[in-house]
Amino acid sequence: MTMWDFEPFKRIIGNCDAFLELTLQETMRHDKLAMETKKRKIVHIELICVRYEVEGKSFIQCNLRNISERVQAENQVVFISNHDMLTRLYNRSYFDEELRRLENSRQYPISIFMLDVDGLKVVNDLHGHTAGDNLLRRTAQVLRSCFRDEDIIARIGGDEFAVLLANTNCQACENIKQRMARTLREHNQDFSDQPLSLSIGAATLDEQGSLDELFKQADALMYKQKKAKAGNTKRDVAEQLDLLSP
């Protein structure tokens, strides 16, 4: 085999120019590569190339080290910093970063959904926090099935969730609401004793503007719906959980 037949050089660095530059201008080159084994497993490699002279001749020595465990640990740290560990959705910090990033983007119209789990406190008080945690995980499951992979779905508070959608207009939001209603009905068929109910508010900004204000609009609409349902929530949830005394 020539050096250029060797997989990391062929697929990642991929050309002689990088090594020509190393020969002429640099003394060391450091790369992190992802290699695929014969069994199609991805292995992360650290590649360090050093140029040196011996008796007037130039040599390049390449050292490769498997750093898969280190990369996995680094990725886990990044995941933990950006995600809510209970639901595995994004957390408030990541959501706010994306809000700031998209505000100055060209991805308008932008829409925001605000969602609140109805009756979570009642479930926690009457049935324990394990049941409440399960309700939150189920909420995350429903949201993942209703939104696109590229949408930013986050748990931003105890029972509050938010979704940030780029390139999404008002009509698309209405379609999503209908899809969510169908998904919730189907989901609750398997949980008739502990049905999931969500209060939802959605707002859209067609042109570049303040996404903080858009967030507040969606939040206000969500609370308006929640307030309209508040009179029946505690009684309904308790009855559905069969936790009221006969």
Q: CATH number of the domain that 176 lies in?
A: 3.30.70.270
pLDDT at residue 32, as a whole number: 84
| CB neighbours of residue 103 within 10 Å | 17
Residue 3 DSSP label: G
pLDDT of residue 234: 47
Q: Mark whether 58 and 90 lie in a shared domain.
A: no
Residue keyed to tokens 């009684």: 235
CA distance readout (Å), 153 to 68, 145, 173, 202: 29, 11, 15, 14
Residues 100 and 190 both lie in one domain: yes
Residues 185 and 212 in one domain: yes
| Residue 154 sits in the same domain as residue 185 | yes
Mean pLDDT per block of 10 residues along the chain (246 residues) reads 63 59 74 82 88 85 91 94 97 97 95 96 89 95 96 96 97 96 94 91 95 97 90 51 38
Three-state DSSP class for residue 244 = coil
Residue 77 lies in a domain: no
Same-domain pairing of 197 and 236:
yes
Helix (H) / strand (E) element for 229: namely helix 211-240
Q: Please count the structural domains in the chain.
A: 2
The last residue of one of the domains, among 71, 99, 117, is 71
Helix axes 129-146, 170-188, angle to 10 degrees: 130
The DSSP symbol for 242 reads T
Q: Are 169 and 176 in contact, with CB atoms under 8 Å apart? A: no
* Pair 212, 188 in one domain: yes
Q: Quick one: 37 and 112 in the same domain?
A: no
Question: Within a domain: residue 168?
Answer: yes
Residue 33 lies in a domain: yes
- Model pLDDT, residue 242: 44
* Whole-number Å distance between alpha carbons of 8 and 107: 37
Residue 80's SS3 state is helix
Q: What is the number of H-type helices and E-type strands within the chain?
A: 8, 7
pLDDT for the residue 12: 52
Residue 150: name the closest of 165, 130, 135 by CA: 165
Domain boundary among 48, 71, 94: 71
Segments forming the whole domain that contains residue 17:
3-71
Q: DSSP letter at 5? A: G
* Single residue among 71, 94, 114 that ends a domain in this structure: 71
Q: Say if 76 falls within a structural domain.
A: no
pLDDT recorded at residue 246 = 34
Same domain, 25 and 128: no
Q: CA 39 to CA 89: how far, in whole Å? A: 32
Give yes or no: residues 220 and 100 share one domain. yes
User: What's the whole-model pTM score?
Assistant: 0.77
Query: Domain for residue 246, yes or no?
Result: no
